[in-house]
């Protein structure tokens, strides 16, 4: 793509529609019919880079035994890929920041696709299912931290390692790092209180209460089993969920920002 070649050589300022048309050997009017500005053109180039990331992570997902480890790996690999061509990366950042109403759909699509990639890293698998509300919110928050730090790098405030470290710190705060992985679940050391109602099933809900922040994520996912009280404490409504609730509870375990909830054999 001509815009990519020009941006790699001279950055944002080198991408002029007239020069792109000449470089690609197309009429300027033809280029204008598809791209209204250099920002729009650079955002189209960014779409190609996101497609490359999607293909890469589909073939080789981020490694790690926990959502936190996989998210760390995802952002390190993504940052290194983006910043390996610094002039182009800085041009992309300026296009996203400066894009006007004509480019809003492309910017929104970029955010949506990146959030989906983050969700896949959280899940540890690829998939076509829609993002849950929690996955969307966590992906959105991490993406904003990453892009803000990427913007700082583009302005010369810090190096590439600073982007990685900023995002790592944000992921640690959101997802926690104290639980030890055991298969697909996490070990925890302390149960939360229950109200005595129990269902059928061979698994028991357990949580590390020191990690639990009663942030209501589990209640949003499975209100049948979890409730946050007015005093910001968490009550387990069904300590031993039956098969009909097993999927929801496992989803709550997987999406807990602090990784505090576990299902253990009873």
State residue 118's pLDDT score.
92
Predicted local distance difference test score (pLDDT) of residue 78:
95
The gap from C-alpha 246 to its chain's centroid, in whole angstroms, comes to 25
Domains and CATH numbers, the chain: 2-175 (1.10.357.10), 181-265 (3.30.70.20)
Of 91, 148, 95, 138, the C-alpha closest to 117 is 138
In the predicted model, residues of the chain with pLDDT beneath 50 are 177-201
pLDDT for res 55:
94
Residue 199: per-residue pLDDT: 40
Closest CA to 203 of 257, 235, 175, 244: 244
| Predicted pLDDT of residue 162 | 94
CA atoms within 13 A on the CB side of 84: 8
Q: pTM, whole model, 2 decimals?
A: 0.62
Q: Is the Cβ–Cβ distance between 91 and 15 less than 8 Å?
A: yes
Token pair belonging to 127: 């998939």
Looking at residue 212, its pLDDT comes to 83
Q: Supply the pLDDT for residue 156.
A: 92
What pLDDT, on a 0 to 100 scale, did the predictor assign at position 126?
Answer: 60
- Environment class of residue 7 by beta-carbon count within 10 Å: exposed (0-12), middle (13-18) or buried (19+)? buried
């Amino acid at each position: 793509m001509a815009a990519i070649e020009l941006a790699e050589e001279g950055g944002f300022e080198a991408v002029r529609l007239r020069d792109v048309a000449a470089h690609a050997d197309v009429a300027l009017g033809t280029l204008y019919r598809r791209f209204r500005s250099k920002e729009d053109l650079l955002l189209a180039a960014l779409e190609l880079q996101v497609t490359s990331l999607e293909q890469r992570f589909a073939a080789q997902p981020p490694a790690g035994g926990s959502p936190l480890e996989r998210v760390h790996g995802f952002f390190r690999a993504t940052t290194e890929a983006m910043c390996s061509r610094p002039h182009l990366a800085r041009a992309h950042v300026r296009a996203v920041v400066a894009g006007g109403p004509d480019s809003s759909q492309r910017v929104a699509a970029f955010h949506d696709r990146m959030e989906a990639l983050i969700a896949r890293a959280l899940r540890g698998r690829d998939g076509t299912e829609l993002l849950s509300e929690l996955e969307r919110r966590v992906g959105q928050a991490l993406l904003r931290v990453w892009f803000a730090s990427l913007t700082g790098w583009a302005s010369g405030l810090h190096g590439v390692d600073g982007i990685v470290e900023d995002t790592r710190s944000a992921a640690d705060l959101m997802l926690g790092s104290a639980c030890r992985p055991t298969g697909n679940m996490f070990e925890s050391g302390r149960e939360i209180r229950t109200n005595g109602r129990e269902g059928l099933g061979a698994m028991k809900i357990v949580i590390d209460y020191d990690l639990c922040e009663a942030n209501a994520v589990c209640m949003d996912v499975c209100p049948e089993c979890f409730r946050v009280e007015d005093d910001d404490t968490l009550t387990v409504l069904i300590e031993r969920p039956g098969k009909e609730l097993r999927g929801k509870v496992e989803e709550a375990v997987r999406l807990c920002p602090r990784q505090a909830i576990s299902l253990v054999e009873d």
